[in-house]
Amino acid sequence: MSLSLMKRVLSPSSAVMPNAVTATRGGDGVAVVSNRAPERTICVLDGHSLTCEKLMELSKGNVELTLSPAAWDKVNRGRHVIDQILDKKEVAYGINTGFGMFSDVIVAPDQLSQLQVNLIRSHAAGVGPPLSRERTRMLLALRVNVIACGHSGARPETVEKMLAAFNEDCLSVVPCQGTVGASGDLAPLAHLCLGLLGEGLMWEPQSTDPKPAGEVLRRHGLEPLELGPKEGLALINGTQLISSLGCEAVMRSINVARCADVTCAITLEALMGTHNAFHPKIHAARPHCGQNLVASRIRGLLEPEKPSDLFDSHRYSGKVQDAYTLRCVPQVHGVVFETIEFVKRLLDVELNSATDNPMIFTGGADFYPTGSAKAPAGTRGRGHSGDASSTLKGSAATTPVCATPLSPIPPSEENSTSFDDSFPLLDGPDDASDISDLNDARKEIQKMRALLKNFKQENTALNTHLMETLLLGTSGFIISGGNFHGEYPAKALDYLAIGIQELANISERRMERLVNPALSNLPAFLVQNGGLNSGFMIAHCTAAALTSENKVLCHPSSVDTLSTSAAKEDHVSMGGYSARKCLEVISECRSCHRYRAHGRLPSLGVS
């Protein structure tokens, strides 16, 4: 590798200064330890602007968290809705009922706080190695950001205690296994909350082993959480484990992908490959963004103002074209960069999404089918959201908001109610092998539509009971939904693992070309005195082993589902494992691009 290329590739990493530790004597005689550095970066969470980059910064332990004034206002208003529902003695899921299969069990008012504590204790059933402190910081910060959206109903004092624990770097011990990714990451988040209650184990600054949580909180002058109605559920219902691990996966994958471009350029020089495959005109003819980005980056590494010593030799190498592992790098690496970008955009949305259930909305609302003058009599403000024509009036969110604009639906399809328009497959050729009689199928579904229409008209009260419930308070309303489902990040992270693995595949093949003298015209295994020395023989074997392991890990976790909670939660995402194995794939792919020999290898003896 030439010195000029080495200088362009390597850059010193930024050093992180350790936090200062100070000790003071509390009024009760207990030593209060502070981990706050004299100067710490302040990060303001607002529930809508957190990114993967920012969340990774929060993992370092040198940032202090707070909420924006607008976020505090949303938290206050959301909690006010809960308080009003309790004052009116309304029955609402998760506030004064049991959970999951026990959602029909009404809990007495004097047991509502105990209900939430019991929820945390019972759901803290995770297993496996604990998350690192860095990952636990990300998990806690992300959960606070979700609460800052204002749809969870947590009290401000609860949020303040969570922020204080983060800022003092007192972190719950959270086992990494146990989530099925719906209803959210219940077990990991329950462990996160358990430590904040003063139960279980916690890490404290500079400690090598976790300590009893109550002791850690006392030593740092922190008060344990005292959960009010809805708050236990508000702290554990969401996709924050999947999403926080996913953010780390995205940021690490960016580094691996850039490293792959560099190793490709170095390999191309060593093998005296041609540069023609990276010509701008080739890639302009196939204008994928990632492909053109990689081609441009490799051109910059290979053809700078001060080219490497091997540059002139390429002009006279006589090669017309190289093997695919060199020639097709922009096409292969490029789609990986676009995969990373896609997953990052999705996760940036997920980081700022309310993933609780039920969800609290502030402001008055009427909920009833379009065209009705008022809600059906006797429904007490309850309506159904199962009909596509239902609208939410009086709310600011009357139209769906999409973070990434989607293609508009043609008017003919948007308001279509006919079976033929909705299912164009049934107007296709009659030789479709998987449908025996299309006409009979069409008639049966038309009958079902007619029966459903009559059911809606004649059984309004029953239909209202079966559909989603909307519970009105004087300053807001609560809706049960499914935002806790982790399918979005789960599918994205399975996709990311598959993309990153392709970098390992092509890198391992390039390594084979380097160490195989029949392909490289270089000494076997890149070592002098072969036989006495084995060179990079087993380094390639290691890369092959890791690449093979990754192929197994790339089997999507999210294609699986199991019914849980006595079939109440009958479809889950398995996104927790999607995130964990994605990180493992990235780690092993990174190892394929980095090798450090033990001792000094003999030089090749070539210039």
Using 50, 70 and 90 to split pLDDT, how confident is the model at 565? confident
CATH superfamily label, 35-238: Fumarase/aspartase (N-terminal domain) (1.10.275.10)
Residue 283 Cα to chain centre, angstroms: 32
SS3 24: strand
**Would you state the structure tokens that stand for residue 521, as one six-digit string?**
């015209």
Per-residue pLDDT of 178-206, as tens digits, reads 999 888 899 999 999 999 999 999 999 98
What is d(CA 87, CA 326) in angstroms, rounded to the nearest whole number? 70
Q: What letter represents residue 201's amino acid?
A: L
Pair 250, 340: CB distance under 8 Å: yes
Per-residue pLDDT of 500-546, as tens digits, reads 999 999 999 999 999 999 988 899 898 989 999 989 999 999 999 99
What is d(CA 40, CA 370) in angstroms, rounded to the nearest whole number? 53
SS3 525: helix
Catalytic residue positions, numbered: 93
pTM value is 0.78
Identify the CA nearest to 2 among candidates 297, 262, 261, 280: 262
What is d(CA 537, CA 387) in angstroms, rounded to the nearest whole number? 65
Q: 173 pLDDT exceeds 70?
A: yes
Q: From the CB of residue 156, how many other CB atoms can be counted at a distance below 10 Å?
A: 15
Answer yes or no: same fold for 35-238 and 247-352+486-593: no
Using 50, 70 and 90 to split pLDDT, how confident is the model at 40? confident
Identify the CA nearest to 514 among candidates 593, 461, 429: 593
Cβ neighbourhood burial of 196 (10 Å; 0-12, 13-18, 19+): buried
Cα first-last separation, the chain: 11
| Residue boundaries of the structural domains of the chain | 35-238, 247-352+486-593, 365-472
Per-residue pLDDT of 385-440, as tens digits, reads 333 333 333 333 333 344 444 444 344 433 433 333 333 333 344 444 444 556 66
What is d(CA 392, CA 79) in angstroms, rounded to the nearest whole number? 21
Identify the helix (H) or strand (E) that includes residue 22. Answer: strand 22-25
Q: What letter represents residue 232's amino acid?
A: G
Q: Please give the CATH topology (third level) of the domain spanning 247-352+486-593.
A: Fumarase C; Chain A, domain 2 (1.20.200)
Partners of 43 in beta bridges: 65
What is d(CA 43, CA 60) in angstroms, rounded to the nearest whole number? 13
- Using the 8-state DSSP alphabet, how is residue 12 labeled? P
